[in-house]
Amino acid sequence: MTNPNPVLNLLLYHAASSYYSMIARYALTLSGQPFESHMMDIHKKREQLQPWYAAINPAMTVPTLVHDGQVLGSSDLILQYLVNRFPATWFETDASEAGRTHVQQLVDLHYQFAVERLTFNAIMQKLPPVRIMFPVLLRKACRELEQQLNQANQDAAVAIQQKLELNRQRLAYFAEPLAARQAKQIELAKQLINTYPDSPQGPWLFGKLPSRADVVLLVFLARLNSVGLNNESVVPPELSAWFQQKTQTQAFVDADVWVKFHPWRLLTHR
């Protein structure tokens, strides 16, 4: 659905391969709003750690949406902002209190799921060299963050310390046995999917208009598809068919939601 009075001063900082950037892009396209795109290289150049970006988003993460003097520094904040700012395109606007509460619960559960773990476990299972390469890259990132921490001012030091601790946690997690940790993530993915309706109640989960729950579920299903887990043992057939239909829509295509991995794009940061 295209807004007849589009807002032209939306600026999105994002990365093509970033899961949470996909959520932001999809929410923007469903809102019918054109936006200015600032693509970030978060792997090789680590632009998200540069001082100019930290001044915009002190958490040094993507995505970030800048609009009307406001800065939304995470995909969940962006989702909520778009629903509030462009209400005509969203289910939550006219939903009952119970309906809004249900959507919020589903969104909260989604953000509690460690999608990165599922993703990298699957990549490591398919590409054994990654099992060695990824910890090496993490240790390198930790060393770089430690150097930055020594030179950072007090405000920047907080975010850098948080990133350093996150990478240390990642190192500890990915040192655990691969098969066992992925089996647990798949079971958690099944539990998450089971909290959603088995089939949509119309074009979208709850009727004629999309909700924030639609956005996060469809991007999550895309990630499952990209790691080979969009199958009947994980995703109910009707939800899977609904997902396949949505992948053919213009909004989904325009949002560049990855339904498979693109190694060349990862290497070229596009």
pLDDT confidence of 215, banded at 50, 70, 90? very high
The stretches of the chain forming alpha helices (DSSP H) are 19-30, 51-54, 75-85, 97-112, 115-126, 129-151, 154-174, 178-194, 212-226, 237-247, 250-254, 263-268
Tell me the β-bridge partners of 71.
66
For residue 188, the SS3 value is helix
Percent of the chain with pLDDT over 70: 94
Please state which CATH class domain 11-268 belongs to. mainly alpha
Closest CA to 91 of 82, 100, 78: 100
pTM confidence score? 0.93
* pLDDT tops 60 at residue 119: yes
Place of tokens 């009727």: 207
CA distance linking residue 262 with residue 22, whole number of Å: 14
Structure confidence by residue, pLDDT tens digits, 29-75: 999 989 999 999 988 888 998 889 999 999 999 999 999 999 999 99
Number of Cβ within 10 Å of residue 253's Cβ equals: 11
Domains of the chain by residue range: 11-268
Residues 94, 80 contacting (CB under 8 angstroms): no
> What is the average pLDDT score of the chain?
92
Cα angle value 242/64/108 (rounded, 5°):
50
